[in-house]
């Protein structure tokens, strides 16, 4: 761990933004960039939980090709949804949740995916990470989505000092300039997948190595 490097959030994010075009966008962002609807973003985000991006992309493509609206989704049985999204992680549970959520959106929200954090959190299986990502990618609203990459890297560079992703979200709301909120998850997920990995990050290729204190990094490349 190195403690003698000074961290500047503006330089950190702007440097990563300049390098970001070399990295692959996270699957939900990639779909949103192609014009996915808020409902499609929500379904893809649910599929992405504990699932690799390439598997998520294939599962989402198959499912949404058959049913890309709540009305169409509820016509499918859970088994049909399972078949379409396999081998996404926890696919039986996700199939059940997708069916439930689609029905709730029809019955409670007149078929329109809610664009409010509290309302999204009422949907079964939707936590703060999923809800915030839907707000960002589905509605282009200012929100902070914290997954394992964002939680790890934000602590690694010393921007926050937290123990859980939820606590990281609330800490970032205070320490991260709002102008960066929408892109923060997108950039850090790609950065975390390619360079700033959980174990043995590739610091020799890191564009912000010169300013990173490497908090709790025991081994790097």
**Domain annotation covers residue 178:** yes
Quick check: 110 pLDDT over 80?
A: yes
Q: For residue 187, which of 64, 18, 7 has the smallest C-alpha distance?
A: 18
Q: What is the mean pLDDT of the chain?
A: 95
Are residues 46 and 14 both part of a single domain? Answer: no
**Domain annotation covers residue 156:** yes
Are residues 33 and 135 both part of a single domain? Answer: yes
Quick check: 17 pLDDT over 90?
A: yes
**Domain annotation covers residue 185:** yes
Long-range Cβ contact pairs of 91-98 (< 8 A, separation 24 or more): 91/59, 93/125, 94/46, 94/47, 94/49, 94/125, 97/46, 97/124, 97/125, 98/43, 98/46, 98/63, 98/73
**Active site (annotated) includes residue 147:** yes
pTM (predicted TM-score): 0.93
**Domain annotation covers residue 216:** no
Q: For residue 153, which of 102, 182, 193, 115 has the smallest C-alpha distance?
A: 193
pLDDT of residue 5: 67
- Report residue 154's pLDDT band, with 50, 70 and 90 as the boundaries: very high
Are residues 133 and 148 both part of a single domain? Answer: no
**Domain annotation covers residue 221:** no
Are residues 128 and 154 both part of a single domain? Answer: no
Q: Which of 61, 147, 163, 167 is catalytic?
A: 147
pLDDT digits (tens, 9 = 90+) for 121-135: 999 999 999 999 999
Q: Which CATH number belongs to the domain containing residue 203 in this structure?
A: 1.10.1670.10
Q: Which of 5, 17, 129, 174 is catalytic?
A: 129
210 touches 5 (CB < 8 A): yes
**Active site (annotated) includes residue 17:** no
Which structural domain range is residue 128 located in?
A: 27-139
pLDDT of residue 20: 85
Are residues 40 and 65 both part of a single domain? Answer: yes
């Amino acid at each position: 761990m190195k403690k003698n490097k000074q961290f500047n959030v503006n330089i950190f994010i702007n440097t990563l933004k300049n390098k970001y075009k070399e990295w692959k966008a996270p699957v939900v962002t990639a779909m949103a960039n192609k014009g996915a609807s808020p409902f499609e973003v929500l379904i893809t985000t649910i599929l992405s939980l504990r699932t690799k991006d390439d598997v998520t992309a294939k599962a989402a493509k198959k499912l949404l090709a058959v049913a890309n609206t709540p009305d169409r989704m509820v016509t499918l049985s859970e088994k049909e949804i399972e078949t379409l999204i396999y081998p996404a992680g926890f696919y039986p549970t996700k199939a059940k949740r997708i069916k439930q959520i689609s029905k709730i959106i029809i019955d409670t929200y007149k078929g329109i995916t809610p664009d409010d954090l509290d309302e999204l959190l009422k949907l079964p299986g939707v936590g703060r990470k999923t809800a915030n990502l839907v707000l960002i990618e589905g509605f282009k609203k200012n929100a902070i989505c914290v997954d394992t990459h964002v939680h790890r890297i934000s602590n690694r560079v010393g921007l926050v000092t937290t123990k859980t992703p939820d606590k990281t979200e609330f800490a970032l709301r205070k320490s991260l300039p709002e102008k960066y909120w929408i892109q923060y998850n997108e950039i850090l997920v790609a950065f975390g997948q390619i360079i700033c990995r959980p174990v043995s990050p590739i610091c020799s290729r890191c564009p912000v190595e010169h300013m990173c204190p490497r908090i709790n990094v025991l081994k790097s490349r």
